[in-house]
A and B are shown apart, each in its own frame.
Chain A
């Protein structure tokens, strides 16, 4: 089983619709992240969470919200989707602590491709 599972893998929706992307992890890690990938822009951080009660904004949080329902689950919501939110979204969690100033290795899910028409 994959460490990080994302659903749905693909979604097409219309402008103004509410969309939720879900992420679950099986390793019991505290930290979870949501990234957005666009061609030529790399991976940009949307939100991250260090535990159930801790939610932090990333570089591009406008237009998005998140919910950490449990240690294993971290959901990303688009309350009113717009076309420029068309992108590939990744959830990630660090399974291995390198022991250096909190540095952690990120393990990514397979991604959720969202198209907003």
Chain B
């Protein structure tokens, strides 16, 4: 089955700086890569996603890049704000029937 690795497990940045979280996947058939944000006491919520036919996608301060050859994808958050502090999960899916999640990154934005 698919194996998704996520790094780093914890990340601290100063407010206004950028944050980058990286994931790798093992199954070259995976073609859909969502990112989820989990705030304390809540379930994960989708923040951005990318399909395998696209190399980059941006939505305001967040962007995701995908390198199919290397089988890795990354989440970029620019101009970080305290409300960006949360746990972030990457995931990979082939059919959309099963999603394989990374182990999570706890992001802390220091005011």
Contact = CB atoms under 8 A, between A and B. Distances in A.
Interface in B10-62: 31-32, 34, 36, 41-46, 49, 51
B31 A100 contact: yes
Contacts, number: 74
A106 B98 contact: no
B-side interface size class = 20 to 34
A98 B101 CA distance: 19
Nearest to B46: A105
A26 interface: no
A76 to B, nearest CB: 15
A9 to B, nearest CB: 9
Interface of A: 4, 31, 35, 40-45, 48, 50, 58-59, 90, 92, 94, 98, 100-111
22 contacts: A41-B103, A42-B6, A42-B104, A44-B101, A45-B98, A48-B98, A50-B97, A90-B43, A92-B43, A101-B95, A102-B95, A102-B96, A103-B96, A105-B34, A105-B49, A106-B34, A106-B36, A106-B44, A108-B43, A110-B43, A111-B41, A111-B42
